[in-house]
Chains A and B, each alone.
Chain A
Amino acid sequence: MTDIHPDADFQRFLAEDRFMIQRSRASGQYVFYPRTIAPGTGARDLEWVEASGLGTVYSTTVVRKKPQEPSYNVALIDLAEGPRMMSRVEGIAPDAVQIGMAVRARIVSQDGEPIVVFELAEADRNG
């Protein structure tokens, strides 16, 4: 067995304001979403490592709601470590998000749960 409990661990890290992904000790392959084994190789040597939080927009869409509800961005982000994840880019208009933009992760609370979102990498996240 393994002492990795993929989703429970990931969510616990997020609650501690840490964006953690997995890495195979032998190959250095990074893995997201969290698993008990490395996809493709089956390696059972995954360890948790802190993500750099840096990424690039791979694709983007705007979900258009009825007029009284705000539209919002949905994007696929290529993490600097390699894996891709769905998220959204905040801090600019949803339709201003463009493929290729450099973005940086931050953890926000949504409906009481911490989630990873992204903002433009140039922006001062403390500003």
Chain B
Amino acid sequence: MAESFPRGRTAIVGAATAGLGKSPGFEASDLAALATMAALDQVGLGLEDVDGLFFCHGTDTLGGLSFAQYLGIQPKVIDNSRTGGSAFQCYVELAAWLLDAGAIDTALIAYGSNQATASGKHVSTVQPMRYEAPYRPINPVSSYALAAARHMHQFGTTKAQLGEVAVAARGWAAFNPEAFKRDPLSLDDYLGSRLVSDPLSVLDCCLVTDGAAAVVMTRADRARSLSAKPVYVMGAASETTHREISWMPDLAVTGAARSGARAYAQAGVSAHEIDVVQLYDAFTINTILFLEDLGFCPKGEGGRFVEGGRIAPGGALPVNTNGGGLSCAHPGMYGLLAIVEAVRQLKGEAPGQQIADVELALAHGNGGVLSSQATVILGRDAAL
């Protein structure tokens, strides 16, 4: 059956962050609530308008219920399903259907984490897998390292090409006052960084920060009365290929190949029409894999594609214009921050480097260990 995604019939009207970096003294929900109010304030909506809540919490598996209670609301729909950091792209997908069906009128998608100040490390409720645990992989990094090693073996991708991704992310972050890591990073700095799980080094890994984000979604007709610049959801699709890396069918091809193809088909656009690209860069290899799987370059060419600063400021393709999870912020789950940056670029309100005349943006989420892939394509009214 052909997909009948409600292309352009829903829109994001508010998008905000709170407490990116270090926010001592706050719980995750404190920060998420601040981001929520900032997003609602942008369009004059209040908590009483929210009848669909999409939220997940780093350690509270009933986090959606807890956050509704914190906000003092009793929404018709609560989704706190977990696919890892891609959950927020999946929430956009589900919210679009629910809004278009009339099941809800206003969706709030929110997230917050205090992992950096609470523990100083990545916080997770994930259980070790019985048939991987005896071999003591450091997850998630070892799983991504196995994918990177495979990419190098099959396509000749080099450590320096992974480094180009890290250097580009830092280049964008330097413009962004919200970014946590803004000091200059050279390829030599990168190549000198300590190996964690070969071939990945410390500087191949995302940051561990606090932070929160929220977006508000509604139907397009209402969006136009609320906002001068609604950001339309043109396509949203998700795919899951495995849970642990041992059962990923092909470590060089992610589910983004399918989620992307479906989202492009829904939106009626192709990769070369996308003006800014936000990719879930938990590790440098992600950016290379997703550039390939989402059609920005042929499979196997991702490493060569990023050479020469092509995805850095001033390059041909703006990727992760906020600095990404590598240099802006990574509060345990990054997916919603990719969406917020895409929305800001489309509205011309990026806190860092604003790209001129953005009509179409892509925000891609990744969850687990390349396990869940979810692609959202957003556009301005000109793209409808």
Q: Interface residues, chain A, CB within 8 Å of chain B?
A: 7, 32-33, 58-64, 72, 74, 76, 84-88, 95, 99-100, 110, 113, 115
Contact = CB atoms under 8 A, between A and B. Distances in A.
Contacts of B153: 59, 99-100
Given A59-B149, A62-B195, A74 B137 contact: yes
Contacts of B150: 58-59, 99
A110 B198 contact: no
A64 B251 contact: no
Contact of B136 (A60, A72, A113): A72
B146 A59 contact: yes
Nearest to A6: B130
B158 interface: no
Contacts of B130: 7, 33
Nearest to A73: B135
B142 interface: yes
9 contacts: A33-B130, A60-B146, A61-B137, A61-B200, A74-B137, A86-B131, A99-B153, A100-B153, A115-B135
Nearest to B199: A61
B245 interface: yes
B138 interface: yes
Most B CB within 10 A of own CB, among A33, A100, A113: A33
Given A64-B196, A74-B135, A84-B247, 20 more contacts: A32-B131, A33-B131, A59-B153, A59-B251, A60-B146, A61-B142, A61-B145, A61-B200, A63-B137, A63-B138, A63-B142, A63-B196, A64-B198, A76-B251, A84-B246, A85-B246, A86-B135, A99-B153, A113-B134, A115-B135
Interface in B132-157: 132, 134-138, 142, 145-147, 149-150, 153
A115 B194 contact: no
B227 interface: no
Contacts of A61: 137, 142, 145-146, 149, 197-200
Given A74-B137, A74-B146, A76-B146, A86 B197 contact: no
Main secondary structure of the interface of B (DSSP, over half): mixed
Interface residues on B, range: 20 to 34
Nearest to B201: A64
A69 to B, nearest CB: 11
B135 A87 contact: yes
Interface in B151-181: 153
A63 B245 CA distance: 16
A84 B198 CA distance: 20
B134 A62 contact: no
A110 B134 contact: yes
Nearest to B249: A84
B246 A64 contact: no
A76 B149 CA distance: 11
Contact of B135 (A7, A84, A88, A95): A88
A76 B198 contact: no
Contacts of B196: 63-64
Contact of B246 (A60, A86, A88): A86
Given A86-B131, A99-B150, A99-B153, A74 B136 contact: yes
Contacts of B194: 64
Contacts of A58: 150, 251
Contacts of A115: 134-135
